[in-house]
Structure 1
């Protein structure tokens, strides 16, 4: 009986997740973007570093599928390499902010004495606009890829922490948690086994959104000139580089802008699909 139940749960999850065509299309688009960015440059399909001043600002055509930039570099190859950095930053921020947010939220929700100060800290950090807080942190510590990931993780960790804290406050009062305490189970074991395992669904959904937010924030920081080192291409840096040529080479902004928009939008739609699939009430209604 248990085997049948466990077998039907993944099937039900897949059914709800893929019942909306928009989720399937968004997941396919994001998969194509990821595979293209990491696989095509490794296979040598595109030119990456070759410069040709004679071919600078060449429009899209047979020689350059997406055109050439101000140094005559293949825009397609540069777009794919920049995507590796942008996607890597988004994933790094999603993972790091989730780990920090889970730790803060569990501690705040489980230990009453620490709840008030940690909650005030979460509220204070969320009072700042995301881009302004990230801009300040990157300006203080420097514009390296590591610092950008750390700065954006500080910005988005409170979102995870607030969700984890709210869920922990409810779960810690449930009978099975009280029974685990009565049996002498250690507090860290209760927090991980009985609390964290039951709140992974909203964490996963929020992490998907943070992935998208982080990519968008990184693009904004790079466009403002305070993101990663300009020698490390990102989609935001490509937009920043192309703005001065917008009159006669608009494609330098167009294609990285499309890449940012498609990645962020597809992640948001996939996040919505995950939320519907992981929410028992929504799954039951469908």
Structure 2
């Protein structure tokens, strides 16, 4: 009996991952994400060049066996800088997901579970979502100052309402279910009900929304860096590389083409993984699959 009980969760997990890996789109997304992650982590080992060392004698060199993706206007290797920039984008995206989950889940749980807090918190969430994401992010970064930490905080605040609305809507349904009412009748404390009976049943939508927020955060970070209001211009990011290379579009298009391609691939791969998770975790869509 005990062995069967222990095998059941593993079997369910194996079935889930098996179904996930049967999706060609999800597999393609995971492969691209793994490639970006490997390049970001092992960039110093894969390239002999420094991302910041200037070499004016080698400026605007086209892609070749020496410089795989060419060089920029200061003679810096584009491949090295793009790989290092991917590390920052991944860290920022993951950090934004963590911040937005803490804020969004907290607001959503409070608004959905406590009737007295629902109206004011719901209006706060709606007010935050009324602002365009990029404008709100620019305003927050301008107020806090340009740095990686402030970009993460600003984007975390920007994307928290998205998650809060999903959590609130699900909590409104879960709080009326019989097992929650039974827990209340048995005298279970409210924090325990929120964690054990409500939050545990929200992990699926939170996971799906987290992948979409990850993709949006990477794109937003690149946009802020492109506009010059993100991290310091001395730090390699995909956005700053595109901004610095746009004046050489006719002469050296590879300066902005490869960072732009990296952004597209990273965001697209996360969207594919998110779509696959949503299709598998949503019972209504799983029936169609």
TM-score, L = length of structure 1: 0.96
Q: Which of 140, 148, 153 does residue 143 from structure 2 map onto?
A: 140
Instruction: Return the alpha-carbon distance in structure 1 between the equivalents of residues 55 and 234 of structure 2.
Output: 18
Cα deviation per residue 1:228-274 (whole Å; 9 max; x = unaligned)?
Answer: 11111110011011111111011000000000000000000000011
Deviation at 1:127, TM superposition (A): 0.7
Cα drift, residue 132 of structure 1: 0.9
What corresponds to 1:164 in structure 2? 167
User: What corresponds to 1:59 in structure 2?
Assistant: 62
1:79-94 → structure 2 map (5 Å cutoff): 79-94=82-97
Cα distance in 2 for partners of 1:115, 1:58 equals 59
Say how many residue pairs are matched.
285
CA contact (8 A) 1:239 1:257 kept: yes
CA distance in 1, matches of 2:13, 2:287: 14
For residues 285 and 266 of structure 1, the distance between their equivalents in structure 2, rounded to whole angstroms, comes to: 23
Give the structure 1 partner of residue 47 of structure 2: 45
1:205 corresponds in structure 2 to 208
Structure 2 counterpart of 1:105, from 108, 128, 132 = 108
CA distance in 2, matches of 1:184, 1:210: 37
TM-superposed deviation, 1:14: 1.6
The 8 Å contact of residues 62 and 71 in structure 2, kept in 1 or not, is answered as yes
Unaligned stretches of 5+ residues in structure 2? none
On the 8 A contact 1:40/1:46 being kept in 2, the answer is: no
Counterpart Cα distance in 1 of 2:54 and 2:46: 16
* Aligned twin of 2:228: 225
Contact kept? 1:56, 1:70, Cα under 8 Å = yes
Instruction: Tell me which of 29, 39, 59 is aligned to 1:26.
Output: 29
Q: 2-side partners of 1:30 and 1:208: how far apart?
A: 12
Match for residue 192 of structure 1? 195
Match of 1:178 among 151, 156, 181: 181
Distance 1:40 1:232 in 2: 15
CA distance in 1, matches of 2:195, 2:161: 19
The match for 2:133 is 130
Partners of 2:9 and 2:284 lie apart in 1 by 18
Aligned to 1:199, what secondary structure does the other structure show? helix
1:44 offset after TM fit, Å? 5.4
Task: Name the SS of the counterpart of 2:67 in structure 1.
Answer: coil
1:76 is aligned to 79
Deviations 1:153-209 (A, max 9, x none): 111000010011111111111111111111111111110110000011011000100
1:12 aligns with 2:9: no
Aligned 8 A contact 1:235 1:260 in 2 = yes
Give the Å deviation of 1:4: 5.1
- Residue 115 (structure 1) aligns with: 118
Partner Cα distance (1:126, 1:185) in 2: 35
Rounded Cα–Cα distance in structure 2 between residues aligned with 1:115 and 1:22: 38
Q: Is the 8 A contact 2:43 2:84 kept in 1?
A: no
